[in-house]
């Protein structure tokens, strides 16, 4: 339902002085302690995207509300109940994106990507907004990694897109199965919706109140209703695959064959119809393949499908397209539940410690010089005690520290302290950079030898 046009507030809201502001319900901070897990997922997504030839895109959070109503569908839960939509100060009805596909298609058309060599392969790592009931694994602001291929209708692309998601989860250590279905082309859909409506009409009194409404507006939605009675009815409902046109059936069979070729584990699941209206042909979700106690309800950690009609719906020429998106929070929940640890953050090559103002200024210059040579130097320049600085060096796991004290300043030297043994050497200040370079090179060679000896890097 579209929100009413309300005039912008006259006066800006002024919070009460002294009242500590709190998180808005359904929102979450991503704190420094969380980032190792976020980086683990993001790094994997970027590396898989690069290997499969995808380029990164970021579209704005705010788009025209009408764009989502048209693409996601006016009778879907997302548009009816979950949109953060409002009238801006200029009177335009805008919405915070509930999903990424519509914005990518808009950008594809707006930037003339239709005229580029096809397919255009794009990926994003973006936050989405849905005004849903918050619970574990379900937030009002959440993050997705998404992949979209525009301009290629070959069934092998469906299998490739499905395999990309499976690869990301598998490489992260999450066993997934793909739940796959076909929702056919427009003709198959019309035929199936009629059969389905007839089936549910005769059993209407057993449907929940929401599904009674869905029966009129969008009967497909009944298939993924969470109410037990509706689920029981859905189990025996006619299946989409039995009402596919010959062309749609042929496409689906080829997708499954290619999934077999690629060794991607999948289940045929007639109940995967997806909560967005733009899907055609292949529709799929990623579910975790084992049950390790993460709430079952949230077990779909990703999903997607073909949307061959969307570019045309947005005014472009008919263009096949397919994509999927994975929820980052749900992926991280799985990683944590499985005890998968992100590797410790990389350590600096060297730490710089100093005593007094003159030494600090000299250290600042040395710091810049080392960084210019691509040596990862770290320091805490505001600290005055050497003890506190050495503690910081240990926390960062720096292998050695350059110490510039009063005596070294006078002598034109610097101390090099091995942080493991505590042994300190005095070197000429002018030779410090060369000495650091030598040690960094040696450490890199040692690490290469260790890895070459068969030790496995941690995930």
- Which residues are near ligand HAM by CB under 6 A? 99-101, 130, 132, 137-139, 142, 144, 146, 148, 275, 300-305, 307, 323-327, 329-330
β-sheet with 93-96: strand ranges across? 62-64, 93-96, 84-87
Nearer to ligand HAM (CB atom), residue 113 or residue 436: 113
Q: Which is nearer to ligand HAM, 310 or 403 (CB)?
A: 310
Q: Indicate the residue whose CB is closest to ligand HAM.
A: 327
Report the nearest approach of ligand HAM to the CB of residue 158 (Å): 11
How near is the Cβ of 121 to ligand HAM at its closest, in Å?
12
What span, in angstroms and rounded, lies between the C-alpha atoms of 367 and 379? 8
Residues 6 or more apart whose CB falls under 8 angstroms from that of 16 comprise none
Least distance from ligand HAM to the Cβ atom of residue 138, Å: 4
Minimum distance of ligand HAM from residue 29's CB (angstroms): 15
What is each CA distance from 296 to 129, 137, 180, 305, in whole angstroms?
22, 11, 18, 22
Q: Minimum Å distance from CB 294 to ligand HAM?
A: 12
Helices (H), 144-185: 155-172
Nearer to ligand HAM, 27 or 441 (CB): 27
Instruction: CB nearer to ligand HAM: give 148 or 185.
Output: 148
Geometric angle at alpha carbon 99, from 97 and 103, rounded to 5°: 70
Sign of dihedral through CA atoms 150, 156, 158, 160? Answer: negative
- Yes or no: say if 114 and 312 are a contact pair by the CB < 8 Å rule: no
d(CA 7, CA 13): 15
- CB of 57: closest distance to ligand HAM in angstroms? 13
Task: Find, among 444, 141, 136, 153, the residue nearest to 280 by Cα.
Answer: 153
Choose between 142 and 351: whose C-beta lies nearer to ligand HAM.
Answer: 142
Residue of 220, 141, 226 lying closest to 182 (CA atoms): 220
In the complex, least distance from residue 285 CB atom to ligand HAM, rounded to whole angstroms: 7
Name which of 283 and 370 has its Cβ closer to ligand HAM.
Answer: 283
Nearer to ligand HAM, 84 or 351 (CB): 84
In the bound state with ligand HAM, the residue whose beta carbon lies nearer, of 200 and 324, is: 324
Min dist CB 154 to ligand HAM, Å, is 17
CB-count exposure of residue 90 (10 Å: 0-12, 13-18, 19+):
exposed
The pair of three-digit structure tokens given for residue 10, joined into one six-digit string: 């006259």
């Amino acid at each position: 339902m579209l929100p009413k046009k309300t005039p912008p507030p006259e006066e800006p809201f002024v919070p009460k002085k002294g009242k500590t502001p709190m998180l808005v319900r359904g929102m979450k901070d991503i704190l420094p302690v969380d980032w190792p897990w976020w980086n683990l997922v993001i790094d994997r997504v970027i590396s898989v995207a690069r290997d499969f030839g995808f380029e990164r895109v970021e579209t704005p959070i705010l788009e025209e509300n009408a764009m989502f109503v048209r693409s996601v569908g006016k009778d879907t839960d997302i548009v009816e109940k979950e949109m953060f939509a409002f009238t801006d100060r200029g009177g335009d009805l805008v919405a915070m994106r509930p999903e990424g596909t519509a914005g990518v298609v808009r950008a594809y058309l707006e930037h003339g990507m239709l005229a580029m060599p096809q397919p255009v392969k794009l990926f994003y790592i973006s936050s989405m907004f849905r005004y849903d009931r918050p619970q574990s694994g379900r937030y009002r602001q959440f993050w997705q990694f998404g992949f979209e291929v525009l301009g290629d209708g070959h069934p092998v692309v469906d299998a490739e897109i499905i395999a990309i998601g499976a690869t990301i989860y598998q490489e992260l250590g999450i066993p997934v199965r793909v739940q796959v279905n076909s929702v056919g082309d427009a003709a198959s859909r019309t035929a199936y919706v009629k059969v389905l409506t007839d089936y549910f009409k005769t059993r209407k009194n057993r449907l929940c109140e929401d599904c009674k409404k869905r029966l009129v507006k969008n009967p497909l939605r009944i298939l993924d209703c969470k109410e037990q009675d509706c689920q029981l009815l859905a189990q025996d409902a006619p299946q989409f695959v039995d009402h596919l046109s010959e062309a749609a059936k042929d496409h689906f069979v080829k997708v499954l064959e290619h999934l077999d070729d690629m060794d991607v584990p999948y289940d045929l699941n007639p109940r995967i119809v997806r909560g967005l209206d733009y899907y055609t042909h292949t529709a799929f979700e990623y579910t975790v393949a084992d049950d390790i106690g993460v709430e079952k309800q949230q077990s779909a950690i990703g999903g997607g499908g073909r949307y061959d009609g969307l570019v045309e719906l947005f005014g472009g020429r008919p263009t096949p397209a397919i994509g999927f998106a994975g929820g980052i929070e749900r992926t991280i929940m799985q990683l944590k539940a499985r005890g998968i640890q992100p590797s410790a953050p990389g350590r600096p090559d060297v730490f710089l410690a100093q005593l007094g103002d003159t030494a600090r200024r000299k250290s600042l210059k040395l710091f810049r010089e080392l960084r210019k040579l691509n040596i990862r130097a770290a320091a805490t320049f505001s600290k005055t005690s050497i003890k506190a600085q050495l503690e910081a060096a240990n926390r960062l796991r720096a292998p050695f520290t350059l110490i510039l004290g009063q005596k070294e300043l006078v002598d034109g030297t610097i101390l090099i302290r091995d942080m493991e043994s505590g042994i300190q050497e005095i070197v000429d200040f002018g030779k410090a950079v060369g000495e650091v370079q030598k040690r960094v090179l040696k450490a890199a060679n040692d690490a290469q030898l260790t890895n070459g000896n068969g030790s496995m890097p941690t995930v």
